Chain A
Amino acid sequence: MEQSLASKGLRLLTLGLSITLILVISTVAYSAYEDLAYVFEGLGGGEGMPELSVNGTHLTLSNLVLANRGVYPLHIELRSDVKIANVSLGSTSTGKITIPPKTQKEINLTMPLDLTRVYSDYSILKTILFNGTMASFRLGVDFGLQPFVALSLVSGFNSKIGAALDDLTFRLQSVEPIDDTHVKADVEVEFTNRSPLVIDGVLRATLPSAQRRNLQYSSEPLEVLAAPNQHYLGRLTFRLPKEELKSGAWYILNLVFETVGYRYEWNAAFGV
């Protein structure tokens, strides 16, 4: 019995669909292999290796070069969010970037860090200044071979960040007479900024009198600016009556650190 035209058409359609399916699967597999091989070769050889840096105000992912060696347009979107001590500092996305076949693109991701959220919380500010904490980074990548396959990858890692005022010490450096009744006392301030944040603020110190109640001597405000990993050395200068400082005694400093409109108060001691 002879097949009708519609039956022949349906047979051809089935055949066409099967051939299309085989072609699509093989070309998608080829494109995915080529693109992934490029990514892994790049990571292994250093080419296209992304750099992640935090400069205190921004988190930047740079030097990420991606080439599309496949036969389908490649789309990619990078997303990132950062938290310090469970407080979100912000999130960002590159938006959908399309890389046509046989071309390459450099992808950069810059995220402004909103530190006011951290500074406005007193206990978190204390943790960041003195104890160090955990920063959690989450990076999401949406990757797809248009229009057939889309791959979404979300990964995160925690990184310990050190205290901003690590090993903060106050040391009486020198005492020099100013006149017959007063001396100039220089107290050295030393710390290392082990956090990825730039420490920028003003340190105010007062020294309660050992002789008279309710009398306090104030130093000049000290401008503190310390980049990440910087060792900071500064000096608080007091003008004191000669009889205030006695050898072998310990003195309490009342300290106020002001940064971006927020202040943290604490006490520290130094010996003479």
Chain B
Amino acid sequence: MEAPKRKNKAVMYAGRAVQAAIFVAINYAIFFIAPSLFYSNLGLLTAETETAISSYFLVIGSLTVIHLLLKDHIIGFASSVALAIVQALYIYVITNGGVLSITYGEIALTLEFKPLLYLMMATPLVNMVKQIFDYLSSSAAQPIQMLEVQE
């Protein structure tokens, strides 16, 4: 009876690991490669920016793995909420609040895209609200065990 249960668990976690690997790869493309390419093409890739991109990606990657592996646990839920906050914060920090300034010799260029930034930040934040809502709904729907007290 124990062995098939353990096997089922192993299969479940293997499936989640594959799912986590896919999501980490997607996050790698979105949160690491895309900003690195963008900044290096503009000639704005400094050591600080590189460190920020790497650090945030490490946090995002770790939270994605924890969230997907432990999705039915409170830690998984907490990491999904943290992931949404970190993603939104990362988008804000890496785009310098939606204002990028570049100087090429005598030419000073300022690009402002705050409405787009808020739209980008809204997606993970709405997702976070949904996660919280789902978690609260599922907690409320848990059956309560009423133990009969025998005197």
Contact = CB atoms under 8 A, between A and B. Distances in A.
**B interface: dominant SS:** helix
Interface size class of B (residues with CB under 8 A): 20 to 34
A52 to B, nearest CB: 16
Contacts of A1: 138, 141
Contacts of B119: 17, 20-21, 24
Given A1-B138, A155-B108, A10 B116 contact: no
A229 interface: no
A267 interface: no
Interface in A144-158: 147-157
A22 to B, nearest CB: 10
A32 to B, nearest CB: 10
Contacts of A150: 111-113
A18 interface: yes
Contacts of B126: 10, 13-14, 17
Interface string B128-148: 011001100110010000000
Contacts of A13: 126
Contact of B112 (A6, A20, A151, A155): A151
Contacts of B110: 151-153
A65 interface: no
Interface in B83-142: 106-113, 115-116, 119-120, 122-123, 126-127, 129-130, 133-134, 137-138, 141
Contacts, number: 66
Nearest to A152: B110
Contacts of B111: 149-152
Given A17-B122, A157-B106, A152 B112 contact: yes
Contacts of A153: 107-110
A151 B106 contact: no
Contacts of B134: 3, 7
What interface size band does chain A fall in? 20 to 34
Given A153-B107, A154-B107, A154-B108, A10 B130 contact: yes
Contacts of B109: 151-154
A155 B107 contact: yes
Given A7-B133, A7-B137, A10-B126, A24 B116 contact: yes
A154 B103 CA distance: 9
A45 B119 CA distance: 38
Contacts of A147: 115
Contacts of B129: 10
Given A11-B130, A154-B107, A148 B115 contact: yes
Contacts of A149: 111-113, 116
A230 to B, nearest CB: 31
A28 B115 CA distance: 12
A4 interface: yes
A37 interface: no
Interface string B47-64: 000000000000000000
Given A4-B137, A149-B111, A149-B116, 15 more contacts: A10-B127, A10-B130, A10-B133, A13-B126, A17-B122, A17-B126, A21-B119, A147-B115, A149-B112, A149-B113, A150-B113, A151-B111, A151-B112, A152-B111, A155-B106
29 contacts: A1-B138, A1-B141, A3-B134, A6-B133, A7-B133, A10-B126, A10-B133, A13-B126, A14-B123, A14-B126, A14-B127, A14-B130, A17-B119, A18-B123, A21-B120, A24-B116, A24-B119, A149-B111, A149-B112, A149-B113, A151-B110, A151-B111, A151-B112, A152-B110, A152-B111, A152-B112, A153-B107, A154-B107, A155-B106
